[in-house]
C-alpha cells in the first residue's frame, strides 16, 4: 500500500503492477505440516497478493485503465509432492487472478498471471538443497533442459503490462 501511494504521489497514477510474493518452507508430507507454517505461507502468498490487488484495482477503477500481473508458479497449475501449502497458495493466486480478470475486463483492466517454473533464485536454490539436488540436476528436469532466468520472467511481465497485450 505504501509503495502504491508513493507511486501515485510521484506519477499521479498507477499504470501497472507486478505482484510477486512467494515464500516456502521445508519439504514435508501434508500430515506432518505445521498449521502455523500453512497459515504463514497462505498469508504471504495468497492474502498478501489479495491485498495488493484490492488496492491496485481501487486505484485503476478511478483511472479507467490498468494492468496487473501476478507472479504465480507452475505449482499454481499442477503440483509437486511435499509442498502442499505452497501449491495451495499458488492455486489461490490463480483463482484470484482469473476471477479479477473476468470482474474487471470491461472496466479497462488487464489482469494476468505468469507461471514460471524453475527460475534461478535464492528460493529455488534452497528448495533444490532441501531435496538434495543441484541446480544442474534441477535444470535437467525442465523440458528446455535448463533453469530459467528472472529476466525471462521480467520480459513476459513487461509485455503483459504494455499496450501490445491488450
Active site residues per annotation: 86
CA R_g for the chain: 17
Distance CA 95, CA 61 (A): 21
Other Cβ atoms within 10 Å of 113 Cβ, number: 23
Distance CA 66, CA 100 (A): 12
Residues 6+ away with beta carbon under 8 Å from 119 = 147, 148, 149, 150, 152, 153
Amino acid at each position: 500500500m505504501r509503495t502504491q501511494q508513493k507511486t501515485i504521489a510521484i506519477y499521479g497514477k498507477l499504470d501497472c503492477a507486478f505482484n510477486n510474493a512467494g515464500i516456502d518452507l521445508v519439504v514435508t508430507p501434508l500430515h506432518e505440516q505445521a498449521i502455523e507454517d500453512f497459515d504463514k505461507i497462505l498469508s504471504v502468498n495468497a492474502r498478501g497478493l489479495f491485498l495488493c490487488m484490492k488496492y491496485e484495482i481501487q486505484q485503476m477503477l478511478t483511472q479507467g485503465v490498468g494492468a496487473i500481473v501476478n507472479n504465480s508458479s507452475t505449482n499454481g497449475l499442477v503440483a509437486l509432492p511435499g509442498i502442499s501449502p505452497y501449491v495451495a497458495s499458488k492455486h489461490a493466486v490463480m483463482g484470484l487472478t482469473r476471477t479479477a480478470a473476468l470482474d474487471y475486463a470491461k472496466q479497462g483492466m488487464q489482469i494476468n498471471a505468469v507461471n514460471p517454473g524453475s527460475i534461478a533464485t535464492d528460493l529455488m536454490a534452497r528448495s533444490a538443497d532441501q531435496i538434495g539436488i543441484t541446480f544442474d540436476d534441477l535444470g535437467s528436469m525442465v523440458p528446455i533442459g535448463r533453469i530459467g532466468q528472472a529476466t525471462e520472467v521480467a520480459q513476459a511481465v513487461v509485455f503483459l503490462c504494455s499496450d501490445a497485450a491488450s
